[in-house]
Amino acid sequence: MSLLDILIAPDARLKQKAKPLSGVDGRVARLMDDMLETMYKAPGIGLAAPQVGILERVIVVDVTDHKTEKPNPIAMVNPEIIRASDDLSVTQEGCLSIPDIYADVTRPAEVTVRYVDRDGEVRTLDAGGLLATCIQHEIDHLNGVLFIDHLSSLKRNMILRKMQKYKREHGIA
């Protein structure tokens, strides 16, 4: 397995729509493993393929508390929300592509997601709480949407200016 480089916003590749995959072959399985390793190392609770410069519909998530629970990595190909609750929840979100920035985002509290797993099987998952938030955040990435796109343009532009400064300071192109 190998660690992947995570793109930092603003980056044109984070604003593009990712392509669906026809299935899971060795390359895609390896991508999932590398993404999980990269996510755990960061550390983060979710990662989408566009964040490592790959415009394909692949996400990985694990929202377990590593101090008290066993890891529960979930890797999804072509994830699709097939049901969302009317109930909304507000969660403070962050993103590995937007370091050190956190903001409240409102999303459906519960979702049902259909996806293809690492073995190529179609699965359905009912998610609530942090898992529901995380899955929606990662699926957004596949559509070129960042969590700051859910904020007011005033807040978003302020964050993007901070990020430009961050990139300059860290020598990121």
Residues within the interface to Ni ion (CB under 5 A): 95
Choosing from 37, 56, 138, 169, which is the catalytic residue? 138
Residue whose CB is less far from Ni ion, 95 or 116: 95
At residue 53, φ and ψ (nearest 5 deg) are 80, 15
Active site residue 121: no
Contact status, residue 8 vs residue 97, Cβ threshold 8 Å = yes
CA–CA separation, 138 and 133 (whole Å): 9
Joined together, the tokens standing for residue 70 give 């066993």
Find the shortest distance in angstroms from Cβ 134 to Ni ion: 9
CA distance 13 to 136: 19
- By C-beta, is 78 or 133 nearer to Ni ion? 133
Query: Which alpha helices (H) appear in 42-81, and where do they start and end?
Result: none
Compute the least distance from the CB of residue 145 to Ni ion, in Å.
Answer: 10
The residue with its CB nearest to Ni ion is 95
Minimum CB distance to Ni ion, residue 119 (Å): 26
Nearer to Ni ion, 52 or 116 (CB): 52
Q: In what order do the strands lie in the sheet with 74-84?
A: 46-48, 58-61, 74-84, 111-116, 122-127
Cα–Cα separations (whole angstroms), residue 44 to 10, 25, 27, 41: 19, 25, 23, 8
The CB-of-23 to Ni ion minimum distance in angstroms stands at 25
Of the pair 77, 101, the CB lying nearest Ni ion is at 101
Catalytic residues: 138
